[in-house]
């Protein structure tokens, strides 16, 4: 399942992130890559343990927490602290699959990466190339979203970032361990939830159909969720 989540960041949050990142130090992106990815990765990142990186990561987490579409699609149990990357002219990331398990720095915990997310921070007109190309059962999708929008997709997907030919592409990226690890079940629950939301536009919340659909949705979550 691939889901486009618009307007995750407000214009004010986006402006703050852009200003902070413009003043940040950047390091080789290979520092957070696995053995396979390190051979394919050519970009820059904000240091994972920097004060600025942690502050902006908390900003992104707060934005995700108030976004019902992200919650519905990802069904998050744990979210890896968001990271920030930058692709300048000539930089790219060859096709790869994300590591299945990620240690959360400074905690002793690890998360299973069920859902991958990219939050775009640069307007698409500011750079050429840089498309996120995702290959999965839904086909091959080339993604280039407005600044402040997010795309989430299964971490099992083969994906790449096309070479930048003009400008610079900035983004936040992170992984989610979902309460429902199976993508097909998550997709079913997401579609079910969206249908309930649409039904509520024309029916009162206490209508028998709404009550029945909502009960079935939560009973499916109860059956499939792992905590």
Q: Is 169 annotated as a binding residue?
A: yes
DSSP the chain: --EEE---S-HHHHHHHHHHHHTS--EEGGGG--HHHHTTEE-EE--TT-HHHHHHHHHHHHHHHT-HHHHHHH-EEEEPPPEEEEE-TT-EEEEE---SEEEPTTTS-EEE--EEEEEE-S-GGGEEE--EEEEETTEEEEE---TT-EEEEETTSEEEEPPEEEE-EEEEEEEEEESS--HHHHHHHHHHHHHHHHHHTTS-TTSHHHHHHHHHHHHHHHHH---
Q: Is 159 annotated as a binding residue?
A: yes
Q: Are 116 and 154 in contact (CB under 8 A)?
A: yes
Residue positions in the annotated binding site for 2-oxoglutarate? 169
Binding site, residues? 96, 98, 159, 169
Which residues sit in the known binding site for Fe cation?
A: 96, 98, 159
């Amino acid at each position: 399942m691939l889901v486009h989540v618009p307007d995750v960041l407000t214009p004010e949050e986006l402006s703050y992130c852009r200003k902070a990142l413009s003043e940040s130090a950047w390091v080789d992106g290979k520092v957070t890559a696995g053995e396979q990815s390190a051979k394919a990765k050519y970009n820059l990142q904000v240091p994972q343990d920097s004060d600025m990186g942690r502050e902006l990561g908390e900003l992104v987490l707060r934005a995700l927490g108030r976004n019902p579409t992200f919650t519905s699609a990802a069904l998050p149990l744990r979210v890896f602290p968001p990271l920030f990357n930058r692709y300048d002219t000539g930089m790219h990331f060859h096709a790869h699959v994300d590591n299945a398990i990620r240690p959360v720095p400074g905690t002793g915990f690890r998360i299973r990466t069920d859902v991958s997310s990219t939050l775009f921070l640069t307007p698409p007109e500011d750079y050429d190339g840089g498309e996120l190309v995702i290959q999965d059962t839904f086909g091959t999708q080339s993604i280039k979203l407005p600044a402040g929008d997010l795309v989430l997709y299964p971490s099992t997907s083969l994906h790449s970032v096309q070479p930048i030919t003009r400008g610079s592409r900035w983004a936040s990226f992170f992984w989610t361990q979902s309460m429902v690890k199976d993508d097909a079940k998550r997709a079913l629950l997401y579609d079910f939830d969206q249908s309930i939301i649409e039904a509520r536009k024309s029916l009162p919340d206490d209508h028998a159909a709404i009550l029945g659909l909502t009960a079935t949705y939560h009973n499916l979550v109860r059956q499939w969720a792992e905590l």
